[in-house]
Structure 1
Amino acid sequence: MLTPSAPRLRQVLALLVLRRREVVSTDVLVDELWGMRPPRHALRALHTCLYDVRRAVRGTEREANRFLVTEHGGYRAVLPDEAVDVGQFEQWVEEGQKAVAGGEPLRARELLERGLALWRGAALADVRRGEVLRAHAVGLEEARLRALELRLDCDLELGRHGHVVAELTGLVAGQPFHEGLSVRLMTALYRSGRRWDALAVYRDLRNRLRAELGAEPGPEARRTHRAVLTDDPALSARAGGPARLQVRVRPAQLPPDTVDFTGRAETLARVAELAAVGRSGSAAPVACLMGMPGVGKTATAVHAAHLLRENCPDGQFYVQLADTPTETDAGYVALGRLLRSTGMPSHAVPDALPERVAAFRSWSSARRVLVLVDGAGSARQVKPLLPAGPGSLALVTSRSPLYGLRGHTRIHLGPYTLPEAVEALGRAIGCGRTAAEPEAAERIVELLGRLPLAVGVAGAQLTAHPTARLARCADLVEQCVQENRLSELAAVGFDFNDRIDAVLGTLERCEGAAFRRLAAELDGAFTAEQSAAVLSVDSLTGGLLMVRLADAHLVEQVGETVSGERQYRFHALVGAYALEQHGSSGHRDARGGTPLPALFR
């Protein structure tokens, strides 16, 4: 493939190649090229640019017309990983990490060196970068640094300390606040017989941190400093002999952040506050994000984790629990993965759950790590996965309160505010469209209960139909919600019903039936006493049922009556779901008529 020389063509090509596994929307391309001030005919200019990109590759690519595929709402580059240096780099590094986990430092070093050899300067150094490419460049540089750190660990384990002193000295000079590099330099100097130089590295690091940041070195640097002072035998290694220290791996497992993440400023500030308190305390804080299905718990937790990952330099773990069959399996399987990702060979991972818990707590006790546990169903699932080291942080998402989890902070996540919902829709479809029909945009998000999942699906569908009127879309949404026919939206990617089904699966059958009947009989705010009357049960049973439904986020508490009774209501989409299910069971009048057309068609 020929690389175009025009800056704008190189910019578009770089973005398409880096995101070759997904469709890049026209809005993202326009934002990358022109930022907040696109020209009047931005789409026309973009189409011309893409035509020039196709023409640039046509001379050397037999099927160049298949390189850039036009999709609904955007474009997708069709390239195998091995055809892109970034893809090759990621493959070599992944193989190197597997070799490290398998206790093969020599092979790991060779694989990592192959990947690092593909770098010829800074990431995207010869490409003009907008906001999106700048984020990609930062991510690429971080991946390069992690691979370099792992290769240096292999060098130290293989007894090549004398060979890496010069390299590490240069790296520390370039990144004076990177404690991990200073720790490796101290280790290499000590093993090279230069104990006083190793102590000087620590002294310089401490002085820099105090002067510039008002902070002390972290636990790992302090531990290495003590080992140098006391001639700790664990710090020694015989050149060319078997390693006495395990190659250190820094897991970086967080899912990709959302490019157009919107709102949640208060929640993010609360999580950051907890993390700051944890750094000055003796225990790792646990922040639990709770809310109804589709409210954006995972996206918010992932975004918060990315904002805080610099505070947890020893690793970031991601654990998905939603699909694990049982609570015991959840802790056992997840802990095995966590231990292997720290560099522990598979054969060394304990078989018994308590031993796995003890091994992870021992490993994390002197490290600052972040553990994101997604989709927790109970405290029993979460407890074994919590890090032990002060300065660490655990983020947990759950649809229900985690009773029995001591010391955690519950953070309730509700629907978007109206401005946040409109902003999220505008980011998806272009602010020009929402500005042109502001009332219709507000009507759409209000009908969808300002639920992030629903707003995101609406944005994706409207992006695929750039000429669709927002007012027409609002009419269709209103018809679906008012006629309680949410299941018909599954064809356009709205899986809200599936998520509610999953929640109901955690309740008793009679509780699910009561939920559907209450939605059919009650409208607006109601009390537990009123729900008991509808169900013909005593007030205690009605009160306990409302607690269960509130814990599952199938109803939301909206205040109290004058007499102090709690008031509840159904979210608009939850109520529509319940009415649809109630009606499908024969308890609602048939509506007749022709089926509602698919949304946004």
Structure 2
Amino acid sequence: MEFGILGPLLVRDSGGDRPVAAAKQRALLAALLVRRGQVVPADVLADTVWDGRPPRTAATTLRNYVMRLRKALGEAGPRLATEAGGYLLAVAVEEFDADRFTRLRDLGHDRLRTGDAERAATHYEAALALWRGPALVDIPSEALRRAEAGRLAEARLDVLEGRTEAALALGRHAELLGELRMLTVAHPERERLWAQLMTALYRSGRQSEALAVYGEVRRVLADELGVDPGSELRAVHGGILRADPALAAPARQAVRTRAVLVTPFQLPPGLTDFTGRSEQSADLAGLLAAESRRAPLIAVVSGQPGAGKSALVQHAAHAARGAHPDGTLYADLRGSCPRSAAPHAVLGSFLTALGVPAAAVPPDTDSRTALFRSLLAGRRMLVVLDDARDSAHIRPLMPAGPGNSALVTARTRLPDLGGSHALPLGPLPADEARQFLTRLLGPARAAAEPRALTQLAAACGGLPLALRICGARLAARPSWTVRHLVERLADEGRALDELCLGSLDVRAAFEAGCEGLDPVTARAFHLLALAPTDTVGLSTAARLLGAPPAHAERVLERLTDAGLLTAREPGRYRYEPLLRTYARERARHRTTAPTVPAQRTPLRSALAG
């Protein structure tokens, strides 16, 4: 879980970003975050939410806001607890960007005091990278911003000064001049920044400019604050005048760009109950173990939402550690989420994991890619990229050396990713689905209802996510029989409601899978599911959509590429069972929603007739 106030309000869980759209709820969440782990009195929250002017109904309205906020927080909702007289939000230090910033700042200060300028610079850079804009920028509470935003901005300036001090100690004075000139204009009251600018100019052989800066800051301080320069500025000025050797530039330290001590292993823990996919697992094992290659291995595992792509790839990656002794890098690219991970940021994290100090990470994406590939050259490393949006999303992250491998999961097969091996995943075969359920329930319980177990596997359509949810629900309810759950799933109107357990949610997975569809394609996916069978021919689709066959085919192919339909023969497109249930549910919602225009679409007319 991740929470952030260093910029626009951020809430992110395993499913991606969770926007808090309502302004009052953003103010409420921000007020709880800045006092995380503490009971915040209701009247304090009311003053914050209504900016010092709470209405008479504030207590009741606040309770409603808390209830809505719990829903908006998704899997973190239960962390928002009602306590006597107030509310408490439980957030760990590592989950909150302001806490991580403070920890990195303190680490940087400690390293700088002990003379380890390179480590200090690394910590400072990591702290500054957490900022996405001004703190609390989208929080509509002047009282909260007045209390917290100024303090956080001051802390950020403190880190900027510390990073500059570390860079000066490392002999990087010439690189600092442009930034220091901008900082002194933006913050003329910060004498330390002026002293650092004078030092950087002097060490760059520009003594007269450094002295001119002293005259400038003396005038600024006198005109705006009515004071003379402080001791630090006077000391630097005096050192320049007498050419003090203590002010001279240190020998520039070489920057490490290669990991020498750490072999990264970033994979999430493997699933102890991973079951099935024997054919695909064997294919991946053979590809990953191959030694005589002239190019890196790139394997793309694709399939519908909930097909178990990530589980298979992580299982294969854990098994392939021996073939990749130089380490494994992992990134969740969140390609199915509205805000996917940027290759630029992923490359930065990879380079840091490989031992590159933050100060040495190149500023542009192309240079980061070049350095990343240089570091992997001659090594045997595995790169796992989970949930790619498309080929362009992952091209900068591809290794180039023949000893390297890349495992990618995506909704589509990424056919334009040259040189890749495609491993499409369909539903689990019936025997593997039953085996998976048996492993989740235990052999005794599974053996007691063999027929119902088969029916449950069929009701789940062999979808691993649905099977896992059913197994977990039955394991949590020993009094339920397998048949009881089968009967609950038999009602199409409630089937998707049954397939939800905590953060595991089939409907949510399907919604994420449809997120990137254009309106025409989304409408076709929903409405064609109302046809009498789960398979739709091209001519039928064209008639029902009221479109030429060529247009209908393009739409159906886009749905196939998105993993939402399967095409087992040309011109015939099939819905998997649960995807059809979801699409029919959405189609009925569209049909009955009051905002839908009253005219009859060709599909509605055909079905009505």
TM-score range, shorter chain: 0.5 to 0.7
**Aligned position for 2:523:** 513
Pick the aligned partner of 1:567 from 540, 565, 572: 572
Q: Which residue of 1 aligns with 2:283?
A: 270
Partner residue in 1 for 2:547: 537
What is the total number of aligned residue pairs between the two structures?
353
Q: 1:583 matched to which residue of 2?
A: 588
Aligned to 2:65: none
SS in 1 for 2:320: helix
CA drift of 1:525 comes to 2.2
Distance 1:320 1:453 in 2: 18
Name the CA shift for 1:399/1:246 in 2 (closer, same or farther; >3 Å).
closer
For 1:486, which of 496, 519, 527 is the aligned residue?
496
- For residues 269 and 493 of structure 1, what CA distance do their matches in structure 2 show? 30
CA distance in 2, matches of 1:318, 1:324: 17
- Cα distance per residue 1:447-493 (max 9 Å; x no partner): 110100000000101111123111111111112xx336514643665
- Report if aligned partners of 1:461, 1:492 keep a CA contact under 8 Å in 2: no
Letter of the aligned partner of 1:557 in structure 2?
A: A
Q: Secondary structure at the match of 2:421?
A: strand
Q: Does 1:381 align with 2:393?
A: yes
Contact 1:422/1:441, CA 8 A, preserved across alignment: yes
Cα deviation, residue 521, structure 1: 2.0
Deviation larger for 376-385 or 339-348: 376-385
1-side partners of 2:360 and 2:298: how far apart?
A: 28
Deviation (angstroms), 1:331? 0.8
Amino acid in structure 2 at the alignment position of 1:291: G
Counterpart among 296, 301, 320 of residue 308 in structure 1: 320
Gaps of 5+ in 1: 1-79, 81-94, 109-240, 560-564, 589-601
Q: From the CA coordinates, give the structure whose radius of gyration is larger.
A: 2
**Is the 1:287–1:396 contact (alpha carbons within 8 Å) kept by the matching residues of 2?**
yes
Cα displacement string for residues 110-155 of structure 1 (whole angstroms, at most 9, x for unaligned residues): xxxxxxxxxxxxxxxxxxxxxxxxxxxxxxxxxxxxxxxxxxxxxx
Q: Deviations over 1:497-521 (max 9, x none)?
A: 1122122221111211111110012
1:250 aligns with one of 258, 263, 283: 263
1:398 aligns with 410
Please report how far the alpha carbon of residue 585 of structure 1 lies from its aligned counterpart in structure 2 after TM superposition.
2.4
Q: State the 1:371 CA deviation.
A: 0.4
Distance in 2 of aligned mates of 1:246 and 1:447? 50
How far apart are the structure 2 equivalents of 1:243 and 1:336?
16
Correspondent of 2:300 among 255, 265, 288: 288
- For residue 427 of structure 1, the aligned residue among 408, 417, 439 is 439
For residue 401 of structure 1, give the secondary structure of its aligned residue in structure 2: coil
- For residues 107-506 of structure 1, what are the structure 2 equivalents within 5 Å? 247-277=260-290, 279-322=291-334, 330-479=342-491, 482-483=492-493, 485-487=495-497, 489-490=499-500, 494-506=504-516
How far, CA to CA, are the matches of 2:559 and 2:396 in structure 1?
27
Equivalent residues in 2 for 1:45-56 (5 A)? none
2:255 and 2:538 map into 1 onto residues whose CA distance is 66
Change (3 A) 1:514 1:397: same
- 1:595 alignment counterpart: none
Structure 2: which amino acid aligns with 1:470? V
AA partner of residue 267 (structure 1): Q
Q: Is the 8 A contact 1:370 1:392 kept in 2?
A: yes
Alignment match of 1:547 (pick from 538, 557, 572): 557
Q: Cα–Cα, structure 1 residues 102 and 516, in superposed 2: closer, same or farther, change >3 Å?
A: farther
Letter of the structure 2 residue corresponding to residue 342 of structure 1:
L
Cα distance 1:288–1:527, how it changes in 2: closer, same or farther (>3 A)? same
Q: Note the alpha carbon deviations across 1:305-325, whole angstroms, 9 max, x for none.
A: 001111101110101101697
Query: Deviation per CA, 1:241-298, whole angstroms, max 9, x where unpaired?
Result: 9998863321000111110110111111111222234x20121110000000000000
The alpha-carbon distance between structure 1 residues 246 and 491, as it changes in their structure 2 partners (threshold 3 A), is closer
Task: Please tell me whether the aligned partners of residues 254 and 302 of structure 1 are also in contact (alpha carbons under 8 angstroms).
Answer: yes
Q: In structure 2, list runs of 5 or more residues that go unmatched.
A: 1-91, 93-106, 124-252, 594-609
Q: Give the secondary structure class of the aligned counterpart of 2:509.
A: helix
Q: CA RMSD in A?
A: 3.0
Quickly say closer, same or farther: Cα 1:471–1:487, change in 2 above 3 A: closer
Q: Deviations over 1:142-176 (max 9, x none)?
A: xxxxxxxxxxxxxxxxxxxxxxxxxxxxxxxxxxx
1:503 is paired with a residue whose SS is helix
Q: Report the alpha carbon displacement of residue 442 of structure 1 after superposing the two structures with TM.
A: 0.5
Distance (Å, rounded) in 1 between the aligned partners of 2:536 and 2:117: 59
Shift of 1:392: 1.4
Opposite residue 550 of structure 1, the aligned amino acid is: T
Following the alignment from structure 1 to structure 2, what is the Cα–Cα distance between the partners of residues 510 and 426? 41
Give the alignment's TM-score, normalised by structure 2.
0.54
CA distance in 2, matches of 1:417, 1:541: 33
Separation in 2, partners of 1:392, 1:490: 38
Tell me, yes or no, if the aligned pair for 2:381 and 2:405 is still in contact at 8 Å. yes
User: What is the CA–CA distance in structure 2 between the aligned matches of 1:383 and 1:529, rounded to whole Å?
Assistant: 37
Contact 1:324 1:330 in 2 (8 A): no
2:563 corresponds to 1:558:
no
Corresponding residue for residue 536 of structure 2: 526
Cα distance in 2, alignment partners of residues 537 and 342 from structure 1? 53
SS of equivalent residue, structure 1 residue 421: helix
Distance between the aligned counterparts of 1:102 and 1:364, measured in 2?
A: 27
Separation in structure 2 between the aligned mates of residue 442 and residue 378 of structure 1, nearest angstrom: 36
What is the DSSP-based 3-state SS (H/G/I as helix, E as strand, rest coil) of the residue aligned with 2:529? helix
The separation in 2 between residues aligned to 1:553 and 1:511, in whole angstroms, is 13
Superposition pairs of residues 58-137 of structure 1, within 5 angstroms? none
Task: For 1:510 and 1:354, locate their aligned partners in 2 and report how far apart those are by CA, in whole Å.
Answer: 35
**How far has the Cα of 1:556 moved from its partner?**
1.1
Query: What is the deviation of 1:567?
Result: 1.5
Render the CA deviation track for 1:163-204: whole Å, top value 9, x for unaligned. Answer: xxxxxxxxxxxxxxxxxxxxxxxxxxxxxxxxxxxxxxxxxx
Q: Given that residues 321 and 376 in structure 1 are in contact (C-alpha distance below 8 angstroms), is that contact kept between their aligned partners in structure 2?
A: yes
Write the deviation string for residues 524-575 of structure 1: whole angstroms up to 9, x where unpaired: 322122111111111101111110011111111233xxxxx43111111001
Q: SS at the partner of 2:283?
A: helix
Give how far 1:495 is off.
Answer: 1.3
Shift of the 246–274 alpha-carbon distance from structure 1 to 2, 3 Å rule, reads closer
**1:102: Cα distance to partner?**
8.8
> Following TM superposition, by how much is the alpha carbon of 1:328 offset from its aligned partner in structure 2, in angstroms?
9.2
Normalized against structure 1, the TM-score is what? 0.55
Give yes or no for contact 1:328–1:381 (8 Å, CA) kept in 2.
no
**SS of structure 2 residue aligned to 1:351:** coil
2 CA distance for matches of 1:549 and 1:523? 17
The offset of 1:384, in angstroms, is 1.2
